Copies of this chain bind each other. A is one copy, B any other.
Amino acid sequence: MEKIKIKFPDGNVKEFDKGITSLEVAKSISSRLANEVLAATVNKEIWDLTRPINSDASIVLHKWDDVEAKHTFWHSSAHLMAEALESLYPGIKFGIGPSIENGFYYDVDPKEGITITESDLPKIETKMAELAGQNEHYSRKEVSKVDALKYFEQKGEEYKLELIQGLEDGKITFYSQGNFTDLCRGPHLPDTSPIKAIKLLSIAGAYWRGDEHNKQLTRIYGITFPKKKMLDDYLIFLEEAKKRDHRKLGKELELFTFSSKVGQGLPLWLPKGAMLRSRLENFLKEVQAKYGYDQVITPHIGQKELYITSGHYEKYGKDSFQPIHTPAEGEEFLLKPMNCPHHCEIYKSKPHSYKDLPLRYAEFGTVYRYEQSGELHGLTRVRGFTQDDAHIFCRPDQLKEEFIKVIDIILLIFKALDFKEFTTQISLRDPNDKTKYIGTDENWEKAERAIIEATEEKGIDTVVEYGEAAFYGPKLDFMVKDALGRKWQLGTIQVDYNLPESFELEYVGSDNQKHRPIMIHRAPFGSMERFVAVLIEHTAGEFPLWLNPKQVVVIPVSEKFNDYAKKILDSLKEKNISAEMDERNEKIGYKIREGEVQKIPYMIIVGEKEQAAGNISVRKHKKGDLGSLSLSDFIDNIEVEIKNKYYTTN
């Protein structure tokens, strides 16, 4: 028997018979592995486990935790759902049915007169479970274009026919399991047996090929797991995520709103949201002041010429908001997509010596970038957003220290905002193709080394990705894990050799010669919009006290004590504490319960006793009654708590 060499991720190479499958390779290692493996990457392509390997190859075996395994699993589940649908709704026609980030969907077109609704989903789930229990095998078959067309013509599947028309002959494959056959590139599971837990989630309308001129098909979303427990956990997670959806909470907590008249994707920050945001901004401003940053303010537009110089016009020009013309003088302006060109012009406004550096210009700069309306999503995908931007202009010998300082700021913020888990990625040049990057080899090496050393010195766990750097410099990105375990990309630090070049920025060195400074772009929050969205979902709207736009509610026991309560309220406001008064004509118990529901950190209750003693009764959210206190003691305590929370949250 002919032999082939299989190379494993750890570098080991083993010989196997030609035609061996990945599943058999797994079995040769251990039967447990064979049970857990769901897909394999063979020569960098994801393959069915049962597909024969006929030449030397590298192999990676994927278990559930790998995204490749999940996608194979869910793609197979989509086929399983299609088989169930065909059996329940004979004559149903199929569009496309891919795996997605969480689960899968299939676009289907039931026979004239038949509508599939949410109430049908349990029936389909049951059928899927029944078929899965039969351990149907997924088999792959290469077919000619003629045969492929013939097959779906006979079935009358117009959508599949349209898809096949667009494919190249010789590269068409069918996958079959049980009585169902689909046009499909694969890969799939060996059989349906691992699909142990099935949940169909929702139904939506979807135009064929996303074009509103086409027929609207029925899109059925589902998710499956190899274990029942996993599905249960996922459904709980889903429920929790729904409760925490920042769009829902943003409305309930009156943080922000959108107006169709102002325009899609352009948030209007309501008083409480603006307060939350400005506290975040002030927090960062204070931190940045300590780190030697200077705030600057620049306009929201710039001449087209500015962005031609910076290169942004080439990058954003065509796909973003179009130029603004003036009624006379023939000028053309653009809404700024980034703040950096403006900051470069500030740098250029006077000559600099090496002694002046580093200069750190910070701005909460609102930028505008066009996004298709279909792409917009709450505060996480908008058309106008405010970056907590800063640009550091420094000498090459200052790069590492500046990098460390920026990391310090980011870590401080994560700590203050209670993001306990985060990961980082260093994006470096592709060492095999240095031509696509701007800047000298020496500078790149210095910068890459500076970033690596900075993260090492800070003891940060990083993943290094080669070839992921921007063309203008290497970067470091921070991803935080929220309370639901979801990852969000937040802070970013980027080195830039390009803009100093394009804007011909200079400083006079100690050698009396002109040099180019290096620029660092950095945004610890990323953008205020995105960060607030993440914060809402992370905290479920239960913001730490110092950020909370509703810190205290004053509750008079009855109308008689409204004046006293009002005096308390005014004193709190005087001290910049966000307080409200609940003077509704409701029972005291009702008001306290509602304060708990609204998660207000402190409730102050005043009645006969308090008014007579000139003090207040205090309740803390989740902690209950704290007893009587003088107002000034309460204010002292809460002020300390607010102040401390900057650096530690619980």
Contacts and interface: CB of A to CB of B under 8 A. Distances in A.
Q: Which of A277, A286, A329, A346 has the most CB of B within 10 A?
A: A346
Q: Which of A257, A271, A289, A345 has the most CB of B within 10 A?
A: A271
A349 interface: yes
A309 B259 CA distance: 13
A372 interface: yes
B271 A294 contact: yes
B309 A295 contact: no
Given A274-B296, A301-B266, A573 B290 contact: yes
Contact of A266 (B270, B299, B350): B299
A95 interface: no
A259 B301 contact: no
A155 to B, nearest CB: 36
A370 B268 contact: no
Contact of A263 (B303, B346, B573): B303
Interface string A334-362: 01000001100110111000000000010
Nearest to A293: B271
Contacts of A298: 262, 268-269
A257 B343 CA distance: 12
Contact of A349 (B259, B303, B322, B329): B259
A269 B296 contact: yes
A345 B261 contact: yes
B269 A303 contact: no
Contact of A261 (B261, B278, B305, B319): B305
Interface in A267-285: 267-271, 273-275, 277-278
Interface string A239-277: 000000000000000100101011100111111011101
A297 interface: yes
A366 interface: yes
A372 B333 CA distance: 15
B349 A257 contact: yes
A342 to B, nearest CB: 6
A302 interface: yes
Contacts of A263: 299, 301-303, 306, 331, 333
A100 interface: no
A373 interface: yes
A327 interface: yes
Contacts of A267: 299
B322 A296 contact: no
B320 A295 contact: no
A324 interface: yes
A366 B268 contact: no
Contacts of A294: 271, 274-275
Report how many copies the assembly holds.
2
Contacts of A574: 290
A296 B335 CA distance: 21
A299 B384 contact: yes
Nearest to A318: B327
Nearest to A307: B261
A138 to B, nearest CB: 39
A550 to B, nearest CB: 13
Contact of A297 (B254, B261, B269, B303): B269
Band of interface residues on A: 35 or more
A32 to B, nearest CB: 52
B271 A370 contact: no
Nearest to A266: B299
Contact of A296 (B262, B270, B305, B323): B270
B324 A335 contact: yes
Contacts of A289: 573, 576
A321 interface: yes
Contacts of A266: 299, 301-302
A99 to B, nearest CB: 28
Nearest to A355: B583
Contacts of A323: 324
Contact of A268 (B273, B303, B345): B345
B321 A322 contact: no
A331 B260 CA distance: 12
A300 interface: yes
B296 A261 contact: no
Given A290-B573, A372-B328, A349 B268 contact: yes
A110 B366 CA distance: 54
A512 interface: no
B309 A261 contact: yes
A73 interface: no
A274 B327 CA distance: 30
B573 A327 contact: no
A297 B309 contact: no
B321 A326 contact: yes
A325 interface: yes
Nearest to A295: B274
Given A319-B327, A326-B321, A576-B289, A335 B301 contact: yes
A368 interface: yes
28 contacts: A259-B345, A261-B302, A261-B303, A262-B345, A263-B299, A263-B331, A266-B302, A268-B342, A268-B345, A269-B296, A269-B297, A271-B296, A271-B361, A273-B297, A274-B294, A274-B295, A274-B297, A275-B294, A275-B295, A278-B295, A289-B576, A300-B335, A300-B384, A301-B321, A301-B335, A301-B384, A322-B327, A323-B324
**Top 8 A-B residue pairs of the complex, sorted by shortest distance between their CB atoms:** A271-B294, A269-B297, A259-B345, A266-B299, A257-B349, A322-B325, A263-B303, A261-B306
Interface of A: 254, 257, 259, 261-263, 266-271, 273-275, 277-278, 286, 289-290, 294-303, 305-306, 309, 318-329, 331, 333, 335, 341-342, 345-346, 348-350, 361, 366, 368, 370, 372-373, 384, 573-574, 576
